[in-house]
Structure 1
Amino acid sequence: MRIIFSFLALALLFTNCDDGDIITTALDFDETFDTCGELVCFKIKTEPTESLSLLVDTTLEDLIETEVDLDHPLLVNLVDFNPVFTNTQFNYRTYSNTITSDVFCSVIPPANLGVTNDYASSVTATFETVLTEDDNDGIPAELEDIDGDGDLDNDDTDGDGLPNYLDADDDGDNVLTASELADFSDMDTDNDPLTNPEDTDGDGIPNYLDTDDDGDTILTINEEGQTQDQNPANDIDNNTVGPDYLNNVVTNNVPATAYREHTIQQSFQITLTLTGITLSVLTQDVLDFGTLSSTISRVVTPEF
Structure 2
Amino acid sequence: MSLPSGPERTSVVVTGGSGFIGRAAVRGFRARGIPVTVVDRVPYETTDEGVRVVVGDLREAATREAAITAETAGIIHLAALTSVLKTVERPVETFGENVVVTQELLERARLQGVPRFVLASTNAVIGDVGTSTITVDLPPRPLTPYGATKAACEMLLSGYAGAYGLNACVLRFTNVYGPGMSHKDSFVPRLMRAALAGEGVRVYGTGEQRRDLVHVDDVVRALLLAHESGYSGRAIVGAGHSVSVLEMVQAVREVTGAELPVEHVAAPAGEMPAVLADVSASERTIGYAPSISLTEGLATAWKYFSELD
| TM surpasses 0.5 | no
For the superposition of Structure 1 and Structure 2, which TM-score range results when normalised by the shorter chain? Answer: under 0.3
> Which has the higher Rg, Structure 1 or Structure 2?
1
User: Which structure shows the higher strand fraction?
Assistant: 1
Q: Report the TM-score, using the length of structure 1 for normalisation.
A: 0.21
User: Which structure shows the higher helix fraction?
Assistant: 2
